[in-house]
Structure 1
Amino acid sequence: PTYSYASLIAQAINATDDKKVTLNGIYTFIMDHYPYYQHAQNGWQNSIRHNLSLNKAFVRVQRASNEPGRG
């Protein structure tokens, strides 16, 4: 795909009703919408995590106490 990783992340977030998605949800969205990533090496997932941690456009939100996971 010709989209940046930040753009792919934004697409995944904007595809949800509440504009929140887990890291695994981002991976799933990208693989479902861009089959290239189904067969690509896992390095792209590291790039997604890197973009999430450094790009100020993305904010980590605490999960509700009844949801498993970190954030």
Structure 2
Amino acid sequence: MLKWLIVILVIVFVTGMFRATLSRHLRLGRLPGDVHFNFRGRAYHFPFTSTLLLSAVAMLLLWSI
């Protein structure tokens, strides 16, 4: 349980510090497989691929600890 907490805190800290730089270079949220559409004047965004990618990175970090 403590490992998960450490991994989550590290990910939140790193993404908070480098959010603008990371999103510009990694294109998170705009990858192929991320769905974005407008319906009745509202924008909907479902980042399926970005979620899978970030989950894989978190799992690798967990395994390395």
Normalising by structure 1, we get a TM-score of 0.30
| Larger-Rg structure | 2
Higher relative contact order (CA 8 A, sep 6+): 2
Give the number of the structure whose residues are more often strand, by fraction: 2
Give the number of the structure whose residues are more often helix, by fraction: 2
